[in-house]
Chain A
């Protein structure tokens, strides 16, 4: 069988009704299958669709994955906006996770990325390791202390319930569902100082 789908529409796609079944047939052939050559870079890869993380053009990308590791990332040829193309930043998105070691030629996880929680204690000049559990517990305690010590319940006779002492910056990098959770997390502890990269 010639598979013409991105992994986006996996097995469940077979149950699609009407117009959605049509959409399947309009998709181009997947990159990673139909090759008996073992040296084909994308042999036996699964494909996942994603959207570029830079300028807000919304370009589609295909992530090719084998054995749980990212093998390749390039433009989604079926995407109506970018039609498979990517700018230099988009074309380099693979390197956010994996890069070529210039000494060995091996592909390794990007060493510039931080992948475990860290804490910097007062007056110290470097980071210390911390577990997720401890980091979350300490932050929650900080939030409670700061909020309870700096909380306005009534102002000008109006119930206001806000804290001037905590601020939150960000959201333009996250997915919309995450933006909602960040907003909800911050507003429900009474934060007024919310802003995002819309302006910076």
Chain B
């Protein structure tokens, strides 16, 4: 089976968030039902980040355009990048996470032991877990973009791609998606968007989500050089056999990895949406409290 990829062209995205809704409805993911319980953070980016039942968000960033009017309004996409060299797969002690036949990173939820190390290992801070801060309750189980393998197996595109009106999302052979992206970037350069570039082609040995970034990468909540953490790479080889030794041993092994984690890590910090606290993932310490009352963002 040829490798497949999702293409996201930020220069075509209209920021409508239909992809977020389609993901929710196809995958039967709940939204909060308690009256007025969804927090708003002063931006169209909503929810502000991925969550235990939110696998995909569109990001909004307003950059200076150097002109008299308007801004460089960057619409980005934040979801699983489906890496070839996927830190989450490497580190998963239970064999829950794996690459499917198209190269997408999916999982067998039954096997998830709820250790959440995949989240910590991910250079994009993507995997989330139901039951962690969760409205559904129950045991802690991974929840992240799967690339809709059920749809793909039935000749359909992932739900987010299918619904995209402006054609910012596409799905197909990875090589084709890269070719379209490169052609688009060339056109954007011609139109004067000097910082336009392809992202995901080589990152993490090649992602199965390819981005066309219209503006500078700093407007997209993406790491410039996402790296597999050395220790994770090394430890994963050690980690896998450990799974057979049982839960306690696994946790012990994980602790080693936490401590030795190096390199870029988007989120060694976690944001508590309810308390507005920034928390160190490793220590659990509150590093910073964001004073929403004072308009801090």
Contact = CB atoms under 8 A, between A and B. Distances in A.
Interface in B20-34: 20-22, 25-26, 28-33
B150 A40 contact: yes
Nearest to A84: B162
Contacts of B25: 72-73, 91-92, 94-95
Residues of A in contact with B, size category: 20 to 34
Interface in A101-116: 101-105, 107
A85 B53 CA distance: 23
B17 interface: yes
A82 B162 CA distance: 11
B155 interface: yes
Interface in A95-132: 95, 99-105, 107
Contacts of B32: 102
B135 A91 contact: no
B156 interface: yes
A41 B150 contact: yes
Given A86-B18, A87-B165, A102 B33 contact: yes
B22 A91 contact: yes
Given A35-B154, A85-B163, A86-B163, A103 B18 contact: no
Contacts of B16: 87-88
Nearest to A57: B165
A45 to B, nearest CB: 12
B186 interface: no
A130 B150 CA distance: 46
A85 B170 CA distance: 12
Contacts of B31: 100, 102
Residues of B in contact with A, size category: 20 to 34
A29 B135 contact: no
B21 A92 contact: yes
Contact of A91 (B137, B155, B163): B163
Contacts of A102: 30-33, 53, 135-136
A101 B33 contact: yes
B115 interface: no
Contact of B136 (A86, A87, A103): A103
Interface of B: 16-18, 20-22, 25-26, 28-33, 53, 135-137, 150, 154-156, 159, 162-165
Nearest to B165: A85
Question: Most B CB atoms within 10 A — which of A73, A82, A87?
Answer: A87
A101 B29 CA distance: 9
A86 B30 contact: no
A91 B18 contact: yes
Given A72-B25, A85-B164, 16 more contacts: A39-B150, A40-B154, A42-B154, A82-B165, A87-B16, A87-B18, A87-B165, A91-B21, A91-B22, A94-B25, A99-B33, A102-B30, A102-B31, A102-B53, A104-B136, A105-B28
Contacts of A39: 150
Contacts of A99: 30, 33
A107 B155 CA distance: 26
A94 B29 CA distance: 13
Contacts of B163: 74-75, 84-87, 90-91
B297 to A, nearest CB: 24
Given A87-B18, A88-B18, A91-B21, A75 B162 contact: yes
A162 interface: no
Question: Most A CB atoms within 10 A — which of B18, B150, B164?
Answer: B18
A102 B137 CA distance: 9
B162 A85 contact: yes
Question: Most A CB atoms within 10 A — which of B20, B33, B155, B159?
Answer: B33
A100 B18 contact: no
A105 B18 contact: no
Contacts of A86: 18, 22, 163, 165
B21 A29 contact: no
A100 B164 contact: no
Contacts of A41: 26, 150
B158 to A, nearest CB: 12
Contacts of B136: 102-105
B36 to A, nearest CB: 14
A103 B135 contact: yes
- Closest 7 pairs (CB-CB, A-B): A102-B30, A100-B30, A91-B21, A88-B18, A85-B165, A88-B21, A91-B22
